[in-house]
Structure 1
Amino acid sequence: MENIFNINNNSPVNNSYMEINGEYSGLIVLFSIVIAVVASYTALSLNKRAKENSFFHKNFWLLLASLSLGFGIWSMHFVGMGAFSLPVNMSYNNIITLISIIPAMLASFIAFYLANLPQRNFWSYTFAGIAMGTGISSMHYIGMYAMEMEVVYTYDPLLFVASICIAIFVSIIAVYIFSTVQSYKINYIIQLLISLIMGLAISSMHYTGMAAMNFYIPEGYELHLVHSHMTEMYGLAVIVTVGMAMLLGILLLSSLIDRYIQYRANYYDALTQLPNRRLFEKKLQSPKVLAVWHIHDLEYINRQFDYSFGDDVILALVHLFKSRTPSKTEIYRIEGHRIALLTRDVDSAKQLIEALKEISDVLRQPILVKDQEVFSYGVCAISETDHLGDASNIYTNVLAVLNYPSITYNHDIVYYDSNIHTYTFEREIAEDINRAMRDDELFLVYQPKVRLNSQNIVGLETLLRWDHPKYGVLSPAVFIPILEEYHRMIKVTDWIIDRVCQQIAKWEQQDISFQQIAINIPGEYVTSPLLLKVLTQKLNDYGLEPSQIELEITENSFVENMEEAMRAVGAFRREGFSVALDDFGTGVSSLSYLKQMPISTLKVDKSFIDDVPTSAKDSAIIQAIVTLGESLDLNVVIEGVETKEQVNFLTNTSKNPIFQGYYFAKPMKPHDLIKWYLETRMED
């Protein structure tokens, strides 16, 4: 019997037809709603990825989100149709059924694209919602047209219009939710709740549209108790289930690939695929032996041949190191011309040293690179420890060897000797600091602190860097302890305070404000009356307020002289400065001291974050510290946040956490910081 599409309140004009009613399978209805919820959750997750730092372009994530939501809505519709049965023969036009998915996916992409524009307002949400609602309605009624039944059906005009209005209204709300929640780091429970609301809303449109239909058959028509369309629906249900599983698999796989690529880009050298300096500093914990191989003539090779040939030489050397050193050796490319090798195993330590001697002998002869014989001379500095010493010290020892004048062009293995190397290197660093401040070898970088719930930047931490003309960019872990030992950090801190105040004044002229800039204060300077005088003078010079500066001090500053430190911090607070207790948990961490300290902020040390959430102990410690800080009405800043898993775990530990780490932003020079800040603000 031919289908008749008719929108009116009346039955067919002649009286030879009678109305029939269908039945719903409650279980299949529930399944259709679950599909809508899963599709909403998947689309929400993918849409959030479009706003995060990612290897893939944001349109890649928007496309996946659109496919997910469009396919989910389409699947919910046809599973919902499968839940409905009439006592007549029913089937589907497969071509029209497949065509009906197009408007749902296309409308979803248009809506997501409009919702993710940098500048959004009421009208952008409205237009996006209308586009999406129209697409959903088109999909629904094209899908209904694909039904081939031996009935005449009409639509109740009120319910027909209501179903379209519901689709548009729900879509506007959905677009607003999708574009808004991505600006916040919501946890899985809230995201699931939002998805549940979305799934119910989308399903309500479908079942309202179904309720608008009235079905009629001729009088005397033989009703069928077994419905031929059920076999098709079972097949369709299988397709839908497989499709949804594939979408979830794509979400998981793309996220894993994206995170892996980001991890490789952050922590591995692109040429050699070895871990880079950043991972080296992260993993450098109490090695038994640390060796750094310095390639003397790399620049000469690059000039004599070309940079591509120089890269091949490096790859040949890396292959030599890998093939000759013990299996427990960790190899890093920490600089362009330096390879670090370390082992934590006692037995492997001797084997590593012997292997390095053999490699040194091999490299006294030319090596074959691209059918070209070339010499590659280098010096290998080695430092050993018989106990679990400070990792930064053993690395400093190696640097002291490499920077000793007499080995500049040697091809040899040189062992660290405290009587020869340390004094020369440390003294040179201490003596060079005045020139470094004068000639701008020292420079500042700033790392944002982000309040998670709102994604607002609530401040910056100032970090010191040194581009030494002889040693290159020195790690703060190397030169700051030396400057503290030689009592040079007070003068350097005064220089930092001046530069920070100068920078804040420049930003104010550009109408840019970061609320508060944190400056690290060395322990010996905290109790000095000169510090407050310097701070006050610099603020007056640049026309700034104390509330724009936060002073970061360590626990050891208090422990060394508790009464004086308390008095000094009290004076800072009375003047209007914020005071943060840095590296909390690495010192004494006495609760009685914490109760007395007139501080405003508690900074959780990065060492507690590294193994979260895999380490149950560290996770419990973080939870306890955050709870303690919030109970004392302190701002709690969690340092060293670098992974999505850490963010997800830490989100549930605090009511309104403040995060600092590479997951959000790396330390940046002022120019790069402003560029990043403006781009972030435009996206939000």
Structure 2
Amino acid sequence: MENIFNFNNDSPVSNSYIEITGDYSMIIVAISVIIAVVASYTALSLNRRARENSFFHKNFWLLLASICLGFGIWSMHFVGMGAFSLPVNMGYNNIITLISIIPAMLASFIAFYLANLPRRNIWSYIFAGIAMGTGISSMHYIGMYAMEMDVVYTYDRLLFIASICIAIIVSVIAVYIFSKVQTYKTHYIIQLLISLIMGLAISSMHYTGMAAMHFYIPEGYELHKGHSHMTEMYGLAIIVTLGMAVLLGISLLSSLIDRYIEYRANYYDALTQLPNRRLFEKKLQTPKVLAVWHIHDLEYINREFSYAFGDDVIRALVLIFKSRTPSKTEIYRIEGHRIALVARDVDSAKQLIDDLKEIADVLRQPILVKDQEVFSYGVCAISEADQFDNAPNIYTNVLAVLNYPSITYNHNIVYYDPSVHTYTFEREIAEDVIRAMREDELFLVYQPKVRLTLQNIAGLEALLRWNHPKYGVLSPAVFIPILEEYDRMISVTNWIIDRVCQQMANWQQENISFKQVAINIPGEYVTSPLLLKVLKQKLNDYGLEPTQVELEITENSFVKNMEEAMRSVGAFRREGFSVALDDFGTGVSSLSYLKQMPISTLKIDKSFIDDVPISPKDSAIVQAIITLGESLNLNIVIEGVEKKEQVDFLTNTSEDPIFQGYYFAKPMKPHDLIKWYREARVED
């Protein structure tokens, strides 16, 4: 029978037609709704990747999210149709069925694109919602047109319009909520809620549209016995369900691949595939032996041959290190011309020292690279466990050896000797800092602190960096202890205060506010009357308020001189400054004193966060600290957050946590920070 489409509220003109009704399989209906929700959740997850630093371009994730959601809408429709049965022949037009998926995917891409614009207003949300709702509706009614049935059907105008309005209105709400919470890494429950809303929009539109339909058959038409689905409908339902599962699997796999690539890019050297300096500093935890091999003549090789040949030389050297050291030895490329070798237990440390001598003999001979013999020149510096107190010192000791003035480069193995090496390196660093401040070798980077409950930036922390003309970029863990030992940190702190105030004044002129910037104050400076005088003077010079500055003080500063420290902090608080107790739990904590400290913020040290939530002990300690801090009405700042699992655990643990770590943003120079801020900000 010819398929007739009438858009009116009346039965067909001929009175020879009889209206019939169909039945739904509630199990298949439930499956169709689940498909819509799962597709929405996956699409939102993929879209969120577009806003993060990713190996793939953001448009790749937008396209993948659009395909996923569009296919999910399409699948939901035809699975939903598979749930509907009439006592007539039912089938579908293959070409129109395939065409019907296009508006859903196109509308999804438009909606996601508008929702990801850096600057948005209420019209952006409305247009995105209209695009999404229109796409859902178009897909549904094109899909219905693809159905081939021995019936005449009409639409109830009011329900027809209502179905489209439902799709648009609920889509606008979903897009608005999604846009408002996606600035930061949202909790999975919020994302699930948005997915349920979007799934509701898709499902409600479909079943409202189905309710608007009236089916008629001619008098005398022989009905099927009982209401039954066509075999083709079951086949289509199976195909789209399997297709949805494959698509979700591909989406998940691409996300995992992207995260793996991101990890490799952040923590591994591209040339040698060795862990890089960032991972080296992250994992430098009291090794038995640290050896750093400095290759002295790489620049000469690059000039004499080519940079490509120089790369081949580096790979050849790394192969020698790998093949001639114990399997437990960790090898890092910490700089272009330096390879670090770390042994963590007694046996591998002893074996490493023996193997280093063999490596030195090999490197004194020419190595064969691209059928050409090449001589290399270098030196190996070693620091052993019994010569240092903590991890930063062992690396400082190695640097002291490598930077000793009379060192030679004949692949000698030189052990750190405090009577020979310490004075030279540390004295040089201490003396260079005055020049470094004057010539801008010292510079500041800023790391955001994020409050999830309000979806905004709670402030920044100013962090000191040093690009030394001789030693390159020095780690703060190396030069700050030296500056403290040589009493240089007070003048450096004054320099930091001036630069921070100057930067905040510049941002203020550009109408940019980060609310508050935290400055680390060394312990010996906390109780000095000069600090408050410098702070007030700089704020006055740049037209700032004390509430715009937070002072971060370690708990060791309190423990050394508790009464003086509390008196000084009390003075800061009366002037309007916020005061944070930094690295809480790493010093000699005194809970009896904590309630007397006039602080405003408690910062939980990264060392407690690293193994959360995997470690039950660390998780319990963090929970206890958070509960303690909240009971004292303190702001809780959690440092070193790098994983989603940590965010999820800590969000459930604390009422209003403030996060700081690479999961949200790395420390950035001012121009990079502004770029990040403008991309992440969502306007009301």
Q: TM-score when scaled to structure 1?
A: 0.96
Structure-1 residue corresponding to 2:170 = 170
Aligned to 2:240: 240
Structure 1 residue 683 displacement after superposition: 8.8
Post-superposition CA distance 1:441-491 (Å, at most 9, x none): 322222222222344222221212222232222211111112222222222
Residue 141 of structure 2 is matched in structure 1 by 141
CA distance in 2, matches of 1:434, 1:129: 58
**Is the 2:36–2:199 Cα contact (8 Å) retained in structure 1?**
yes
Q: What per-residue deviation string (whole Å, max 9, x for no partner) do you get for residues 298-322 of structure 1?
A: 1111111121111111111001100
Letter in 2 for 1:540: N
Which residue identity is paired with 1:248? L
Query: After alignment, is 553-562 or 137-146 more displaced?
Result: 137-146
Aligned to 2:518: 518
Cα distance change, pair 675–228 in 1 and its aligned pair in 2 (3 A): closer
- Shifted more, 503-512 versus 305-314: the winner is 503-512
Is residue 174–residue 197 contact of structure 2 (8 Å, CA) maintained in 1? no
Judging changes above 3 Å, is the alpha-carbon distance between structure 1 residues 328 and 495 closer, same or farther for their aligned structure 2 residues? same
In 2, are the aligned partners of 1:117 and 1:683 still within 8 Å (CA)? no
Aligned equivalent of 1:664: 664
CA distance in 2 between counterparts of 1:103 and 1:509 reads 46
* TM superposition shift of 1:379: 0.2
Question: For residue 398 of structure 1, what is the amino acid of its counterpart?
Answer: V
In the other structure, the counterpart of 1:638 is 638
Partner of 2:482: 482
Instruction: Report if the CA contact (8 A) 2:493-2:521 is conserved.
Output: yes
Tell me: CA distance 1:361–1:187, structure 2 relative to 1, closer, same or farther (3 Å).
same
User: 1 CA distance for matches of 2:545 and 2:583?
Assistant: 26
Q: CA deviation at 1:386?
A: 4.1
Alpha-carbon distance, 1:682 to partner: 7.5
SS of the residue 2:595 aligns to: helix
Paired residue type of 1:147: M
Do 2:519 and 2:552's aligned partners in 1 also have CA atoms closer than 8 Å?
yes
Matched, 1:676 2:676: yes
Q: 1:555 to 1:197 in 2, by over 3 A?
A: same
Asked if 2 retains the 8 angstrom alpha-carbon contact of 1:134 and 1:168, the reply is yes
For residues 121-136 of structure 1, the aligned pairs below 5 Å read 121-136=121-136
Structure 1 distance, partners of 2:412, 2:221, is 101
| Corresponding residue SS for 2:87 | coil
1:219-238 equivalent positions in 2, closer than 5 A: 219-225=219-225, 229-238=229-238
Query: Does the 8 Å CA contact 2:120/2:682 hold for their aligned counterparts?
Result: no
Decide whether the 8 Å contact of 1:125 with 1:172 is kept in 2: yes
Contact 1:104/1:139 (<8 A) preserved: yes
Name the counterpart of 2:295: 295
SS of alignment partner, residue 405 of structure 1:
coil
State whether structure 2 residue 85 is matched by structure 1 residue 81: no
C-alpha contact 2:118 2:680 (8 A) present in aligned 1? no
Cα distance in 1 for residues equivalent to 2:565 and 2:156:
79
Aligned residue for 2:364? 364
Contact 2:37 2:198 in 1 (8 A): yes
Deviations 1:350-376 (A, max 9, x none): 111111111111111111111221111
Structure 1 residues 571, 45: CA separation in 2 closer, same or farther (over 3 Å shift)? same
Could you tell me which residue of structure 2 aligns to residue 392 of structure 1? 392
Q: Distance in 1 between matches of 2:387 and 2:483?
A: 25
Greater displacement, 579-588 / 248-257: 248-257
Q: SS at 2:327's partner residue?
A: coil
Give the match's secondary structure for 1:128. Answer: helix
> Counterpart of 1:267?
267
- Could you tell me whether the CA contact under 8 Å between 1:91 and 1:228 is conserved in 2? no
Q: 1:18 to 1:438 in 2, by over 3 A?
A: closer
Does residue 31 of structure 1 match 2:31?
yes
1:496 maps to 2:496? yes
RMSD: 2.0
The count of corresponding residues between Structure 1 and Structure 2 is 684
Contact 2:183 2:681 in 1 (8 A): no
Higher mean alpha-carbon deviation, 412-421 vs 193-202, is at 193-202
Give the counterpart letter for 2:103 in structure 1.
P
Name the stretch that deviates more: 290-299 or 445-454. Answer: 445-454
- Report SS of the residue matched to 2:470: coil
Letter in 1 for 2:371: D
- What is the CA–CA distance in structure 2 between the aligned matches of 1:598 and 1:464, rounded to whole Å? 26
**2:373 match: secondary structure:** strand
Whether the 8 Å CA contact 1:295–1:338 is kept in 2: the answer is yes
Letter in 2 for 1:420: V
SS of 1:253's equivalent in the other structure is helix
Letter in 2 for 1:607: S
Q: Is the 8 A contact 2:289 2:342 kept in 1?
A: yes
- Aligned residue in 1 for 2:335: 335
Letter in 1 for 2:623: Q
Quote the Cα distance in structure 1 between the aligned partners of 2:505 and 2:177. Answer: 38
Cα displacement string for residues 221-246 of structure 1 (whole angstroms, at most 9, x for unaligned residues)? 22212667432222222212212212
User: What letter corresponds to residue 596 of structure 1 in structure 2?
Assistant: Q
Question: Residue 93 and residue 631 in structure 1: after superposition, are their counterparts in 2 closer, same or farther (change >3 A)?
Answer: same
Query: Distance in 1 between the 2:540 and 2:147 partners?
Result: 79
Counterpart in 2 of 1:471? 471
The code of the aligned residue for 2:28 comes to: I
C-alpha displacement of 1:168: 2.4
* Paired position in structure 1 for 2:550: 550
Distance across 1 between alignment mates of 2:426 and 2:111? 61
Decide which moves more: 460-469 or 223-232. Answer: 223-232
C-alpha distance 569-104 of structure 1, shift in aligned 2 (>3 A) = same
Distance of 1:126 and 1:487 partners within structure 2: 60
Query: Which residue in the other structure is 1:61 paired with?
Result: 61
Aligned equivalents of 2:133, 2:540: Cα separation in 1? 59
CA contact (8 A) 1:47 1:182 kept: no
For the 8 Å contact 1:360–1:412, the answer to whether it is kept is yes
Q: Take 2:392 and 2:202, find their aligned partners in 1: how far apart are those partners?
A: 58
- The answer to whether the 8 A contact 1:641-1:663 is kept is yes
CA contact (8 A) 2:183 2:682 kept: no
> 1:11 and 1:315 mapped to 2: Cα distance?
81
What is the DSSP-based 3-state SS (H/G/I as helix, E as strand, rest coil) of the residue aligned with 1:652? helix
Distance in 2 (alpha carbons) for counterparts of 1:510 and 1:613: 41
Mapped pair 1:534 → 2:534: yes
CA distance in 2, matches of 1:441, 1:7: 75
- 1:543 partner letter: G
Q: Which runs of no fewer than 5 residues in structure 2 stay unpaired?
A: none
User: What is aligned with 1:152?
Assistant: 152
Matched letter for residue 628 of structure 1: L
Q: 2:49 matched to which residue of 1?
A: 49
* Residues 54-74 of structure 1: CA deviation (Å, up to 9, x unaligned): 222221111122112111111
> How far 1:135 sits from its partner (Å)?
2.2
> Cα distance, 1:263 vs. partner?
0.9
Structure 1 runs not aligned, ≥5 long: none
**Greater mean alpha carbon deviation, residues 573-582 or residues 177-186:** 177-186
> Contact 2:91 / 2:233 at 8 angstroms: preserved in 1?
no
**2: CA distance, partners of 1:164 / 1:442:** 60
| Paired residue secondary structure (1:678) | helix
**1:284 matched to which residue of 2?**
284
Q: 1:582-606, CA deviations, whole angstroms, 9 ceiling, x for partnerless residues?
A: 0011012222121111001111111
| Amino acid aligned to 1:204 | S
- In 2, are the aligned partners of 1:91 and 1:229 still within 8 Å (CA)? no
Quick one: distance in 1 between partners of 2:64 and 2:387?
53
Tell me the amino acid that sits aligned with residue 240 of structure 1.
V
Q: Which whole-Å CA distance do the structure 1 matches of 2:662 and 2:423 have between them? A: 35
Structure 1 residues 106 and 501: alpha-carbon distance in aligned structure 2, compared to 1, 3 A threshold: closer
1:18-67, Cα deviation, whole Å (9 max, x unpaired): 21111111111111111111112112222222222222222111112211
Distance 1:427 1:134, change over 3 A: closer
Distance 2:563 2:476 in 1: 29
CA distance in 1, matches of 2:500, 2:635: 22
Q: SS of the residue aligned with 1:312?
A: helix
Q: 1:613 offset after TM fit, Å?
A: 2.6
Say if 2:84 and 2:229, in contact at 8 Å, map to a contact too.
no
- Letter of the 1:493 partner, please give it: T
Q: Provide the secondary structure at the position in 1 that maps to 2:365.
A: coil
Change (3 A) 1:641 1:602: same
Alpha carbons 2:183, 2:680 under 8 Å: kept: no
SS of 1:144's equivalent in the other structure is helix
